Every structure is written in structure tokens, then in C-alpha cells.
Amino acid sequence: MTAPTMPTLLVLDADPPPRLGRLTGRARIVHTDEAGLAARLPEADVLLVWDFTSHAVREAWPGEGPRPRWVHTASAGVDHLMCPALAASGTVVTNARGVFDQPIAEYVAALVLAMAKDLPRTWEYQRQREWRHREGLRVAGTRACVVGSGPIGRAIARTLKALGVTPALVGRTPRTGVHGPADLDRLLARADWVVAAAPLTDATRGMFDARRFGMMQPSARFINVGRGALVDEDALAEALSKRWIAGAALDVFTHEPLPPGSPLWRVPGLLVSPHMSGDTVGWRDELGAQFVELYERWAAGRPLVNVVDKSRGYVPGH
């Protein structure tokens, strides 16, 4: 009797590679880089997009031959891989929903506290050996508008609430505890903290523009931990330079890594971090373990979780 053929798992690699030892003998694992992806796609049953900064899937998918039945990306966002051909196909797409929620929420809380207490200038004054007394802001009693009502947005709202902040969640569809898009402008106008944590879709691209920065309070601070293209970066730079808003922090950018010559490095009142809000010690191991668990479900014929609605660009249901 001929032994059953093992499924082929194609991994779009990044360094360090995922730990997939539990799949030894249960999958034929093939590794590729961006240059080899297009040639390898037809032989794959499953594609693991470990290099979630790459756009190679979006470029290679429309090619000739069969395509994997399942694609998993080791990230919350899927805009880097989604293309019309993949969206129209029967391929199931899953993401790393659940791994980054609390780490990102903690990072946002840290940014809120750092800006309220003026910690960046405290550190700078220390380096200069200058004793400059200032008054900080009280965080408790302030209001936040969190745009994006998925698991990350909800974790941010819970964590800010623990600091005494009153959060308002805004999502695609209004429901209990979540405001709809029609309420966004009103909530922005009264918020002390505006946090962007939405997925990147046609509806959200460039949603934070000059008009929306102009309607925020002069004392408001803006934080983006969603996707870089949610923000018109030139409009944000102008809003900060003209003091339409009091400060901002960006962890994601339209172009990453942020080029050394980008004017964003020098914008007054802007904190820049290198897309690290969800990355805590051991995060890659969590991502690998999550994929292995999903693979075991798939191999056993059980329904996958974290299934992305390809027409919306995120996992629906909450």
C-alpha cells in the first residue's frame, strides 16, 4: 500500500525562522525567500507567511499554476498579502489574532503615561544635566477615542480604563459598547487621547487627515499602532508643527523602515518607534506555536480559527 503523501508546507522565511519541529514527519516543509516564492507556490498545500513585512505574496499570487489551499500570516494585518486574485480564490486566509493584543495595549498605555508625564524631555534634560521642574498631566479622568474595535482595540480600551481613562471604541458597525463611523468626528473633538488601531482597508486608508487633525483639541495626543497608511503623515507633521494638537506617537509608517532622511524624525512633539509595540520577549515562539496548533486543526479536518474575511481584510465576529 502506498503511504499517503504529506502536505507541502511552504514557508516565506524571515530571520530567525519559525520553530516547526512538532510538524516533523507530518508535513514536507519547504523554505523560500521572496525571489523563489512565485516558482514554489504551485507545489504548496499551505503557505506560512513568516516574513510579514514582505509584499511578495501579493505580487506572486496571480501567477500560473495551482495555489495553496490555506495561507497563514504571522501578523494581525493582512494588507501586505491581499490582492484581488487571492481575495477571489477559494484559499482560506488566517492571521495571528490574539498574540499581539495585550502587548500592544501595554505599549499604548506606556505612551500615554510617557506623554502625560513628559518623560521624553525628562530623559533629554538628564542627558544635558539640566534641572527643569515641570508639571505633568493627570491621566485619570481623561478621555480616549480608540479607533478599531477588534481584539487589539478592545485590549487597549480595557488597559486605559484601568488607568482611569474613559475610552470610547469606534468600529465598522455600531453595536453594544462600540460606536459606528458616524460618531467618530464627535468623539475625536472631545478626546484627550486618539488611538488608531484599525485594520488597513479601502475605508480606513488615510482616515486621519488634515480635517480630522484639525477637529481634535489643541491638548489632544494621537497614537498610531494600527497601520501606517491610516495616517496622512504630512498632515500629522503639519498639525504638530502648527500646534493643532499637543503631541503624537507613531509605531507604524507608510514606508518601513522609516528612512533616515524622513522629515518625521524631526517633527516637534512626535515620538517615533520602529514597529515594536506588539513585540515582547518570546513573541516569535508564540507565533510559531500558534501556527502549529492551527496546522494540527487543518490536518485533522477541523475548522480553522482566525479566518480572515478577505473582502473586509480582517477577522469578523467581534
Helices (H), the chain: 34-40, 56-60, 84-88, 101-116, 119-127, 151-162, 184-190, 210-215, 233-241, 283-299
- Annotated catalytic residue: which of 275, 284, 297, 312? 275
Beta bridge partners of 32: 12
Establish whether 221 is a catalytic residue: no
Distance, in Å, from the CA atom of 38 to the CA atom of 28, rounded to the nearest integer, reads 18
Establish whether 80 is a catalytic residue: no
Report the chain's terminal Cα–Cα distance, integer Å.
47
Distance, in Å, from the CA atom of 134 to the CA atom of 11, rounded to the nearest integer, reads 52
- Annotated catalytic residue: which of 190, 205, 255, 256? 256
- Annotated catalytic residue: which of 80, 97, 212, 227? 227
Beta bridge partners of 70: 46, 92
Q: Which is it for strands 247-250 and 221-224: parallel, antiparallel or unpaired?
A: parallel
Establish whether 275 is a catalytic residue: yes
- Residues taking part in catalysis: 227, 256, 275
